[in-house]
Amino acid sequence: MVETVRLDVLIYAHDGRGLGHASRSIGVGMALRRLYPELKVLFVSGCSFSQELIGTAPLDWLKLPSYETKVVRGRSIGIPGKSMFTDEQLGQLRTKELAHLVSLYRPRLVLVDHTPQGKHKELVPALSSEDGSDTLWVLGVRGVVGAVKQARSELAGKLFKDRYHSVLWYGDSKVLGKSHCEQLQHQYDSVPVECGYVLRLAEFAVWNGRLLEQAEPVAGTISVPWLGEKSMDFLVVLAKVLKKMPPSFGPWLLFVDTENSADVGQRVRALFVEMHNCQLESPGIGYVSALLHSRTAVIYGGYNSLMDVIHANIPAVVVLREMQDEEQQIHLRKLQEVAGEAISTVSETQVSAEELEGMLLAHLQKNKLPSVFLNTNGAAYAAEYINSLLS
């Protein structure tokens, strides 16, 4: 009798704006491939930057058609993706596709990031599939969940109770306190497994050493992975500041998403085209090498970006968007307590050129910072826990 071939671990991260869900999931996936190379692991997402986040690591992945969102008055709104399906149509199509993948690969374990049901309930049929009836489902959640209605819904609680085995918490209670774990325990009636922070960049460095080589030191790396309602206002201020920066500090590398809108891309490029100390690139694999050779950074306040600068051990100016979900503000307040002056924060809409210039000059004067006391073993711990369930 021929043995049925099964996938060991399927990792699913929904997409839309930002790279946090995909980055955490890829970090755990790379840790699984590093620690348990015999396991069959597959990452599934619509995130268009997945390959850049993986690099040359031996983590295979499937690309789904991408969700797209725009921010209107601080709230994310679904819009047609690059495949030109509406948000609702794409949710329906991905629902069938994910159910088919579970039926086809029959994974022994599925790791889902953020919400049990997915972004648009696209995991519900897969969860009830008879082909995956013996599949273990595990949920992974960031350090601060925020006011995400899907995560706090009655459906999320019921799906978790009926089908999920456990919830992994990618945070550090010594920094964030116990309230976030308590919130998860109340929502899902399950004691979360505290893993620590997932540093995708640390796992990336294991597999991509040659890609990180860069001879020229960089004054600063600036990352704007997606352009929101007020991002152009901030970039105008930033351009004024960088124009005044002494060339002796070195070049500034800007990784800005200019691809989604030709008009916006043209406006962004016009801001920096005549500035010889600035190099504008699309977000990609060059960001990692630039960051690791930078004296400072300007980033937005997402989980992944914050963990990147902590891994690089450089001071950073963190830009905060005006979002109704205040996850980033809550998270930053706690991180600043352990990072001290290494992290400065500014409002995307209210920062002045004088304020931003002062922060960058202060950071450029700093030498290498002392290590931040933070549990950053989340990827490896999650991989070890997943392997223990499979064993």
pTM listed for this prediction: 0.90
**What residues contact 361, with CB distance under 8 A and at least 6 apart?**
none
Domain co-membership, 103 together with 14 = yes
The average pLDDT across 359-368 equals 86
Domain co-membership, 26 together with 132 = yes
Indicate if the pLDDT at residue 57 is higher than 90: yes
What are 139-196's pLDDT values in tens digits? 999 988 765 555 678 888 999 999 999 999 999 999 999 999 999 999 999 999 999 9
Domain co-membership, 304 together with 185 = no
The answer to whether residue 216 is domain-embedded is yes
DSSP 212: G
Domain co-membership, 169 together with 228 = no
**What residues contact 114, with CB distance under 8 A and at least 6 apart?**
13, 14, 21, 139, 140, 141, 142, 148, 151
Q: 259, 295 in Cβ contact below 8 A?
A: no
As given in the structure block, the two tokens for residue 246 are 């002494």
What are 278-302's pLDDT values in tens digits? 999 888 778 888 999 999 999 998 8
> Quick one: pLDDT at residue 1?
39
What's the CA angle centered on 328, arms 272 and 69, to 5 degrees? Answer: 65
As given in the structure block, the two tokens for residue 283 are 């977000």
Residue 180's domain comprises: 9-198+376-390
Domain with residue 239: its CATH number is 3.40.50.2000
| Band of residue 2 on the pLDDT scale cut at 50, 70, 90 | very low
Most confidently modeled range among 79-83, 120-124, 219-223, 342-346: 219-223
Q: 348, 230 in Cβ contact below 8 A?
A: yes
Q: What is the overall mean pLDDT for the chain?
A: 87
Domain co-membership, 352 together with 381 = no
- The percent of residues in the chain predicted with pLDDT above 90, rounded, is 53
Specify the length of the chain in residues: 391
Q: Which helix (H) or strand (E) holds 89?
A: helix 87-105
Indicate if the pLDDT at residue 335 is higher than 50: yes
| Band of residue 71 on the pLDDT scale cut at 50, 70, 90 | low
Domain co-membership, 230 together with 171 = no
Indicate if the pLDDT at residue 98 is higher than 80: yes
Domain co-membership, 123 together with 182 = yes
The answer to whether residue 145 is domain-embedded is yes
The answer to whether residue 295 is domain-embedded is yes
CA distance 336 to 315: 11
Indicate if the pLDDT at residue 374 is higher than 50: yes
As given in the structure block, the two tokens for residue 162 are 């009926």
> Quick one: pLDDT at residue 389?
97
Tokens 């490896």 correspond to: 380
